[in-house]
Amino acid sequence: MKRCVIVGSAAINNYNKVKQYLSKEDYFVYCDGGLKHMDELEFKPDLIVGDFDSHENPNLDVETIVLPCEKDDTDTCHALKVCIERGYTDFLFVGCIGERLDHTLGNVALLIMLKEKGLKGIMIDDYSEMSIVSHEESIDDSFSYFSLLTLSDSADGIDIKNAKYLLENGSIKSGFQYGVSNEVNKGQTATVFCKSGNLLLIKVF
């Protein structure tokens, strides 16, 4: 199936960087305030989801799911669940990292949901690309830095190769996040592997 792109309402300052990730073959879902990005991203929605408390319903000739304002799921979470039910397995989130730390952390947790279901997801903002390490992940030297942060009590069996700071069968605990700001060796591709736990990989542009 096509990849599903879910657009949230957080600020996007570098639209050119975001558009490098997008394809006309993608399935685009705009969540409520994410509609403000539609013109700059230059892709029309295939689906609109929201309670429309931060953006008015544009009433386009597009499938629109109108949600109540009082609910357990955020608009973004509901959109993700709908698209999983429809069979999508590969997700890209944009406009989901921003000034509201509560929304940011809630959105990052959606990457864990995807990992637990055996599905693929990455999240990008103006500065970085984020994913949960579910198999061996690679980082090329076009990225300035990369960081590893555990989103569980502990991430274990971590290997880091071809980087400034190496690790073999290591652990990162939630109370000691020492995996911040590593660097790829010039001309090489670093790899990261994690045996257990939810390890967030952040590749910094």
**Residues 104 and 19 occupy one common structural domain:** yes
The model's pLDDT over 95-119, given as tens digits with 9 standing for 90+, comes to: 999 989 999 999 999 999 999 999 9
Domain at 144, CATH number: 2.60.120.320
**Tokens at 99, concatenated:** 């000034």
- Of 176, 193, 92, nearest in space to 139 by CA: 193
Provide the domain count of the chain: 2
Cα dihedral 34, 36, 12, 92, rounded to 10, equals 30
**Residues 19 and 93 occupy one common structural domain:** yes
Query: What band does 52 get if pLDDT is binned at 50, 70 and 90?
Result: very high
Examine the pLDDT at 45 and tell me if it is beyond 90. Answer: yes
Task: Tell me the whole-structure pTM to 2 decimals.
Answer: 0.93
**Residues 114 and 52 occupy one common structural domain:** yes
**Residues 26 and 103 occupy one common structural domain:** yes
Helix (H) or strand (E) holding 129: strand 128-132
The model's pLDDT over 110-167, given as tens digits with 9 standing for 90+, comes to: 999 999 999 999 999 999 999 999 889 999 999 999 999 999 999 999 999 999 999 9
Domain, as residue range, for 108:
4-126
Q: 132 lies in a domain? A: no
The Cα–Cα gap between 44 and 55 comes to: 16
Q: Is 86 helix (H, G, I), strand (E, B) or coil?
A: coil
Strands 167-173 and 4-7: unpaired
Domain at 108, CATH number: 3.40.50.10240
Examine the pLDDT at 1 and tell me if it is beyond 90. Answer: no
Domain boundary among 126, 155, 186: 126
Residue 141's contacts (CB-CB under 8 Å, 6 or more residues apart) are 184, 185, 186, 187, 188, 189
**Residues 146 and 92 occupy one common structural domain:** no
**Residues 117 and 55 occupy one common structural domain:** yes
**Residues 115 and 169 occupy one common structural domain:** no
**Residues 142 and 118 occupy one common structural domain:** no
Query: What band does 204 get if pLDDT is binned at 50, 70 and 90?
Result: very high
The Cα–Cα gap between 68 and 27 comes to: 24
**Tokens at 22, concatenated:** 């997008």
